[in-house]
Structure 1
């Protein structure tokens, strides 16, 4: 969507805060021995208390309130009996709707202590997202996002998953400008004032593509490698990006 009025921005900020708080509540509750279904139940209950509807379930009939992906699962993991263990990387992706507004956020969390290399990957994954957000602004080139993230990834010796893109959001979970590459690309479009979009690079230690698993949802890295994802929903203004998925 494109924000044209203050009340639209406030509606977007309201659902943005809800999804951010939901993700943080889930991350705080996460502990070894918990199943991903139990973690999802916490997120579902939080969204329900806030009067919000899980977007993947409502929009695509996804079998869960949130996407929870552990280790080799890099996105769209289905909540279920899998037990979270110490040393796991757990990606929590929460999107929801309220009063006609949609917001989407995600992050990779460490379950306790992980190796120094994985810890650095998480830090750099978050930095890659921040670098992409810095390229969001009215009339800026859309491909500036992928160009900046790609430069950072290459400099640090990482790869980017090149079939999992950012997207427009706001009145639906996925809308114009549809796919927004977070890797170097030749997209000629420019970012319009008020445009609502996600910035969500998938930074990897060698992965290039996401392959779908047998369950029809869960995605895995090809070639197999560690992958992290960090995501915010933002609004493009003449002064840069407003991040609406802020906890608080």
Structure 2
């Protein structure tokens, strides 16, 4: 069942998603070589609770932490740990909150110190592909249009799209219908309608698309151990352009200030 949201519900969802954006912005200040993902997790949990919300991922289906932190060849669902991040790493941070009965969900892949040019391009293209997908997220389009936009853009650079992990509806539940693949054929799939709220989250690999789950039961990594990138926005479907409910602005403000130092 796909639930169409009222304007009032979308306003609540916007509030939840903005808090996710602010949380990721707070983490952007801390990400550097030597910091552990477990430290980032503690900061995120405190920040979310200080703002009157509950971490959306903590204990969700047994997940042990507030953040999913996926480093280098880890695609998604990495569990925070004490291992320090190293110069040249990348870390995808996926964060969710529950506020006023509605979930927020967004992800961003961060550079740790100075990364190689080929990694920079993977992150740039993956991020751009998210907006390619969002451009098709309008009432009357189909999910195949959205997935195809992401797939064709990233594959034109020689990258591959993870098939098994997909985006999803967001609302009073963290994961709602429909599933939102990052690949597809134009004109195929569920028709998008005004009031749908979906998380679009390209997971793009530098190498092959094949993935494997680690023994911890959560962490997904690339089979060939090549890097992966992940960016995610939650959007509301409208008759015109999609309304992006989450935000990268808080992150970009921090990264811009850091680059000026």
Per the TM superposition, whether the score is higher than 0.5 is: yes
Alignment partner for residue 4 of structure 2, among 2, 5, 9?
2
1:223: Cα distance to partner?
3.2
Inter-partner Cα distance in structure 2 for 1:69 and 1:148 = 25
Q: Aligned residue pairs: how many?
A: 246
Inter-partner Cα distance in structure 1 for 2:90 and 2:109 = 6
Inter-partner Cα distance in structure 1 for 2:174 and 2:208 = 26
Q: 2:44 aligns to what?
A: 43
- Provide runs of 4+ in structure 1 moved above 4 Å: none
Inter-partner Cα distance in structure 2 for 1:67 and 1:83 = 16
Inter-partner Cα distance in structure 1 for 2:135 and 2:235 = 11
Q: 1:220 aligns to what?
A: 221
Q: 1:231 aligns to what?
A: 232
Q: 2:13 aligns to what?
A: 12
Deviation per CA, 1:183-224, whole angstroms, max 9, x where unpaired? Answer: 124843201111000111111112313311011111111233
1:82: Cα distance to partner?
1.4
1:9: Cα distance to partner?
1.8
Inter-partner Cα distance in structure 2 for 1:14 and 1:188 = 29
Indicate the SS of the match to 2:147: helix
TM-score, length basis structure 2: 0.90
Superposition pairs of residues 98-109 of structure 1, within 5 angstroms: 98-109=99-110
- Unaligned residue ranges in structure 2 (runs of 5+): 251-261
Deviation per CA, 1:58-77, whole angstroms, max 9, x where unpaired? Answer: 43221111101111222111
Indicate the SS of the match to 1:69: strand
Indicate the SS of the match to 1:80: coil
Inter-partner Cα distance in structure 1 for 2:93 and 2:189 = 32
- Unaligned residue ranges in structure 1 (runs of 5+): none
- C-alpha root-mean-square deviation of aligned residues, in Å? 1.4
